[in-house]
Amino acid sequence: MGPLQGVKVLEFESIGPAPFAGMLLADMGADVLVIDRPAGTDLGIKRERWYDTMMRGKRSVTLDLKTTTAKEVVFSLIERADALIEGMRPGVMERLGLGPDDALKANPKLVYGRMTGWGQSGPLAPRAGHDINYIALTGILNAIGRKGEAPLPPLNLIGDFGGGGMLLGFGVACALLEAARSGKGQVVDAAMVEGASLLATMFHGFLGAGQWSETRGANILDTGAPWYNVYETKDGKHVSIGAIEERFYAELLARLQLDAKDFPQHERAKWPLHKAAFVTAFKAKTREEWEKVFEGSDACFAPVLSWSEAPRHPHNRARSGYVSVKRVEQPAPAPRFSRTAPEVLRPPPERGEGGEKALADWGFDAAQVKRLASLGLGWGGKT
């Protein structure tokens, strides 16, 4: 079992980064119990659970948080939980009577994890937003894209998941460690705008040292350099090159059969000419042919794979980097641990699935379970 075995986490249904944080904790062995709406929707569209991969490893109970009895039910669970995760707008949990002040009174050791875009305070805190808006405010979105083109949204990976869910998961784990020492819980205020900014820490250093241009596509890591870029191959596919270090760049030129004296690495004025030569070179062979050319080399080369191709790459297969859960091939739990190996304990639950067994595991006896059911807690008849 994973390193968080025995940790009980109460998660309130939401979308995106908060469920991702819950998935990370569940992957690591935590017992994550989700309070689902009795009939939920995701952005107004009913979502089937079997492909809701961020729900993997969890169990579910259902509860209408707006009922008069909901608060009593939730606090019965909070008293037994080690951590709580919620992804509501600031103030929503307080209006429901489930805010951190009351929760910590009921359970002083509780870690109360809060996931928002803008944070719990500040002028934008009550405003709606999505990943693209949060990373826009950090400078990150402005930095991504090719020269002369508009900024390019990098899916919703930086704000929602890297700067959001992963930050919350890290924060909750840190607070759990501290609570084990102090006996005191606390609130974790994870904001996507701050988590995304944190991911860009290195670039602030470059900028401060005058080593980074705020013009897109003019730097070594943003497609400005010919030796850190993506190139199309003869078959219309692509390969990636990241030959930053001098010795790796020399290896790249050798594999491309280009004369090193004609391609000085750091003469920026010649980068456009070098890039054009690389474009021509890579279009001469298919992606598979280039994989053979670069096999065993240190030229910092990798084929650009699609999501469906990635699980079948020999390296990913060798490390068992993907697992299949409920017919969905998906990334395996990470990172690896030498002694307490993480795993996906169960597929995504339907609403209420596994809830009755979870209540027993959390220490509720039959009479207490019956009372919770009378107050509106449900588990759909599935254990």
Q: What residues are labeled active site?
A: 130, 160
**Strand (E) positions, the chain?**
8-12, 31-36, 59-62, 83-86, 111-116, 186-191, 228-232, 238-242, 301-303, 322-325, 328-331
Structure tokens at 322: 């993907």
Instruction: Find the length of the chain.
Output: 383
Structure tokens at 369: 């379970």
The Cα 71–Cα 90 span in angstroms is 18
Q: Is 168 exposed, middle or buried (0-12, 13-18, 19+ CB in 10 A)?
A: buried
Question: With DSSP H G I counted as helix, E B as strand and the rest as coil, what are the percentages for the chain, rounded to 5?
Answer: 40, 15, 45
Structure tokens at 207: 């900028």
The Cα 301–Cα 252 span in angstroms is 8
Residue with the two structure tokens 């707008």: 89
Burial 234-270 (b: 16+ CB within 10 A, else e): eeebbbebbbeeeebbbbbbebbeeeeeebebeeeee
- Torsion angle defined by CA atoms of residues 136, 140, 144 and 150, in that order, rounded to the nearest 10 degrees: 30
Q: How many CB atoms lie within 10 A of CB 341?
A: 12
Q: How many CB atoms lie within 10 A of CB 321?
A: 14
